[in-house]
Amino acid sequence: MSRRRIAILISGRGSNMVSLIEAARAPDFPGEIFLVLSNRPDAGGLDLAREAGLPALAIDHKAYSTRESFEQALDATLTEHGIEFICLAGFMRVLTNWFVERWAGRMLNIHPSLLPLFRGTQTHRRALDEGVLVHGCTVHFVVPELDAGPIVAQAVVPVVPGDTEESLAARILVQEHKLYPQALRMVCDGSARLENGRVAFSQSWDAGGALHSPG
Ligand code: GAR
């Protein structure tokens, strides 16, 4: 199977982007990162992408008068590079229905919570405020409703006494860096597919035991 041509969209430091770039270097990875785009010219991740030898471009949303014109520029650049698949990795711009529908089934996002809990921002603060004992991250297909798309993969971490937003974010980020490459691999090799608004899986699972926290 030919390797899928992937673009990563970022807005910030790009640690998930780095984990995807590193994973995709494996010769058997079913996708290849061809492009990194940021809506913020000052995103730290752009330098990291260039250091990794990738084209890394900023398309500054502030230079466009409407969301649509910004997204048309984004879409034109993706098309020019022959991109087949998009990974949002800390991309902090809400996308319009036009863009999302254009890339339906071909765009993933990572979100720092166990969706459908804690959609939106400040997920770790809200998890601590609610007193949940497990928290985590989710990779999902992007749909027009924010953080609501069909789920491809999730990782769970315990919330422990004394946790702060920072300690929880750090514990989850370790898992994000493992989860996103795994999920992208499954989507690129077709073992996780979007079908009728749900994710269809064609690999066998070892269901294992329950996760307990505490314990
Ligand atoms: C990650 O924790 C990611 O889950 C989150 O932003 C961070 C980006 O970090 N994404 C969202 O909140 C999307 N709504 P990174 O730039 O180091 O990958």
Instruction: Read off the pLDDT of residues 19-55 as tens digits, 9 standing for 90 and up.
Output: 999 999 999 999 999 999 999 999 999 999 999 999 9
Mean pLDDT over residues 87-113, rounded? 97
pLDDT of res. 211: 75
Phi and psi angles of residue 203, each rounded to the nearest 5 degrees, phi first: -125, 155
Spell out a b/e string for 50-77, using b for 16 or more CB atoms within 10 Å of the CB, else e: eebebebbbbebeebeeeeebbebbeeb
| pLDDT in the model for residue 1 | 64
Other beta carbons less than 10 A from residue 81's beta carbon: 15
pTM value > 0.85: yes
83 has a pLDDT exceeding 90: yes
Give the pLDDT score at 133: 97
Mean pLDDT of 6-20: 98
111 lines ligand 1 (CB under 6 A): yes
Q: Could you tell me which residue, 195 or 206, shows the higher pLDDT?
A: 195
Pocket test for ligand 1, best of 154, 176, 180, 184 (most atoms within 8 A of CB): 176
The pLDDT of residue 173 is: 98
CA of 1 to the centre of ligand 1 (A): 30
Query: Is 15 a pocket residue for ligand 1 (Cβ < 6 Å)?
Result: yes
Q: What is the mean pLDDT of residues 80-101?
A: 97
* Residue of the CA atom closest to atom 2 of ligand 1: 112
pLDDT of residue 150: 98
Q: Tell whether the model's pLDDT for residue 115 goes beyond 70.
A: yes
- 136 Cβ closer than 6 Å to some ligand 1 atom: no
Q: What ligand 1 atom has the least distance to the C-alpha of 110?
A: 4
Q: Radius of gyration over alpha carbons of the chain, in Å?
A: 17
149 lines ligand 1 (CB under 6 A): no
Closest C-alpha to 126, from 138, 110, 112: 112
Q: Which helix (H) or strand (E) holds 204?
A: none
What is the rounded average pLDDT for all residues in the chain? Answer: 96
Residue 112 Cβ contacting ligand 1 at under 6 Å: yes
Probe residue for ligand 1, chosen from 48, 157, 173, 175 as the CB with the greatest number of ligand atoms within 8 Å: 173
% residues pLDDT > 70 (the chain): 98
Model confidence band, residue 210 (pLDDT cutoffs 50, 70, 90): confident
